[in-house]
């Protein structure tokens, strides 16, 4: 087993170790591709946990099976979910793994995917049909995360859903909202993403900087009712402070990848309008649906694919990387 480990701030070091022995209910996956994502780059650049293999996303082939395996075959093409359940908490032990209260994440809590082999729980591995390429498979997790948001909000046909996002995830969410028969309204800070929205069928996309116009535009689009649902992605103060203004009375909002800035919500409006706020933190639960959406070409993720880099060149790439390139695309890391 070989790969690259984070050994200090901005330091990625090559390592090589003897093959590991599989534990019960695990599979060994030969990783073919992984992503250099925005989150990975932040972990690399900021003070974080050292002596850990970064990387959250992986597609590859099964190279070794646990003795008790009945679900998978050797050499099967698979995608790995980056979030593991603990197996120890009350919910895990009573068969409600999706509600695990102590989830672990690859590349953050446990060694990740910047390496050639990884041992993962069987429950975190999903077969990829031939019609889904490894490149596309790398984005299954983000689609599954977006589907979890839509499930949480119980999106209904004909509803207006405002998506406040300054990441490319907004484009995935927008497409899925359309797929569910609802109407996405994307509010972004990134002009490239606003421009891209039309290409993927998101008709209403506004630049966040045009503040005054957004509220009046949404008023017009919704016939004065404002949005029944809102999705807030990421950490912009400006965007979060708008949630209550763009929502209808009794609307539901889902927060995703949020930090500690909830205080910026207008609590008075929240109570007055009786808004419901919920959150999603895990991509677990919708991997099969996400794979099916890709296999049947129901979602376009081509715009997410950035440059390619062999694993051996990853330290050099990270050294010279302009982070703004990761705002609109993820870099595909090829392990061979
Ligand atoms: Zn658990």
| C-alpha 97 – ligand 1 centre gap (Å) | 6
**Of residues 18, 24, 44, the one with CA closest to residue 333:** 44
| Rounded CA separation 142/130 (Å) | 20
Answer CATH for 145-280 from 3.40.50.720, 1.10.1070.11, 3.90.700.10, 3.20.20.70: 3.40.50.720
Q: Ligand 1 centre from 28 Cα, in Å?
A: 22
CA of 19 to the centre of ligand 1 (A): 27
**Of 146, 133, 11, 26, the residue nearest 77 (C-alpha):** 133
pLDDT for the residue numbered 327: 78
Helix, strand or coil for residue 20? coil
Å from CA of 164 to ligand 1 middle: 31
Q: Report helix, strand or coil for 328.
A: helix
Q: Ligand 1 center to residue 303 CA distance, Å? A: 35
The answer to whether 223 and 239 have CB atoms below 8 angstroms apart is no
Within the chain, which residues score under 50 in pLDDT? none
Burial 269-290 (b: 16+ CB within 10 A, else e): ebeebebebeebebbbbbbeeb
Residue 63 is encoded by which pair of tokens? 């190279």
Cα of 99 vs centre of ligand 1, distance in Å, is: 7
SS3 content of the chain, % helix, strand, coil (to 5): 35, 30, 40
Rounded distance from Cα 11 to ligand 1 centre (Å): 32
Spacing, Cα 103 to ligand 1 middle (Å): 6
Closest CA to 274 of 254, 241, 252, 256: 252
pLDDT number for residue 263? 53
Task: Please report how the helices 140-153 and 169-179 are oriented relative to each other, as an axis angle in degrees rounded to 10.
Answer: 50
Query: Separation of 283 CA from ligand 1 center, angstroms?
Result: 15
In this predicted model, what pLDDT tens digit does every residue of 56-88 receive, in sequence order?
Answer: 999 999 999 988 777 899 999 999 999 998 889
Domain boundaries, the chain: 2-139+301-334, 145-280
Whole-structure pTM over 0.95, yes or no?
no
Q: How far is the CA of 308 from the centre of ligand 1 (A)?
A: 35
Q: How far apart are the CA of 10 and the centre of ligand 1, in A? A: 32
Domain 2-139+301-334 grouped into CATH 3.30.470.20: no
Compute, in angstroms, the gap from residue 109 CA to the centroid of ligand 1. Answer: 14
CA of 129 to the centre of ligand 1 (A): 29
> What spacing in Å lies between the alpha carbon of 100 and ligand 1's midpoint?
4
* DSSP-assigned letter for residue 118: E
Q: How far apart are the CA of 260 and the centre of ligand 1, in A?
A: 24
CB-side neighbour CA atoms (13 Å) of 73 = 4
| CA–centroid distance, residue 118 to ligand 1 (Å) | 21
| pLDDT of 265 | 72
Alpha-carbon distance of 210 to 238, in angstroms, equals: 12
What separation in Å is there between the alpha carbon of 106 and the centre of ligand 1? 15
């Amino acid at each position: 087993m070989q790969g690259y480990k984070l050994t200090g701030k901005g330091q990625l070091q090559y390592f090589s170790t003897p093959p590991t022995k599989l534990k019960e209910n695990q599979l060994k996956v030969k990783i073919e591709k992984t992503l250099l994502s925005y989150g990975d780059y932040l972990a690399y650049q900021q003070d974080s946990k050292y002596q850990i293999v970064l990387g959250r996303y992986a597609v590859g082939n099964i190279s070794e099976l646990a003795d008790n395996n009945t679900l998978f075959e050797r050499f099967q093409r698979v995608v790995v979910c980056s979030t593991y359940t603990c197996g120890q908490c009350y919910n895990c032990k009573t068969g409600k793994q999706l509600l695990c209260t102590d989830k672990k994440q690859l590349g953050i809590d446990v060694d990740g995917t910047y390496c050639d082999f990884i041992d993962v729980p069987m429950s975190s591995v999903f077969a990829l049909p031939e019609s889904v390429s490894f490149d596309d498979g790398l984005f299954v997790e983000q689609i599954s995360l977006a589907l979890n948001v839509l499930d949480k909000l119980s999106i209904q046909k004909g509803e207006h859903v405002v998506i406040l996002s300054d990441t490319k995830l907004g484009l995935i969410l927008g497409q899925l909202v359309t797929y569910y028969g609802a109407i996405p309204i994307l509010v972004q800070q990134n002009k490239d993403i606003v421009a891209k929205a039309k290409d993927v069928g998101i008709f209403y996309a506004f630049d966040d900087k045009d503040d005054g116009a957004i509220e009046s535009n949404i008023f017009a689009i919704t016939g004065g009712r404002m949005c029944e649902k809102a999705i807030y992605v990421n950490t912009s103060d400006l965007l979060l402070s708008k949630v209550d203004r763009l929502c209808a009375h009794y609307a539901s909002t889902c927060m995703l990848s949020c930090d500690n800035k909830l205080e910026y919500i207008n609590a008075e409006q929240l109570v007055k309008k009786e808004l419901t706020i919920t959150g999603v933190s895990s991509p677990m639960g919708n991997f099969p649906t996400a794979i099916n959406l890709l296999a049947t070409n129901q979602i376009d993720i081509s715009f997410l694919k950035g440059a390619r880099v062999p694993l051996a060149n990853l330290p050099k790439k990270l050294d010279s990387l302009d982070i703004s390139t990761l705002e609109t695309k993820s870099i595909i890391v090829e392990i061979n």
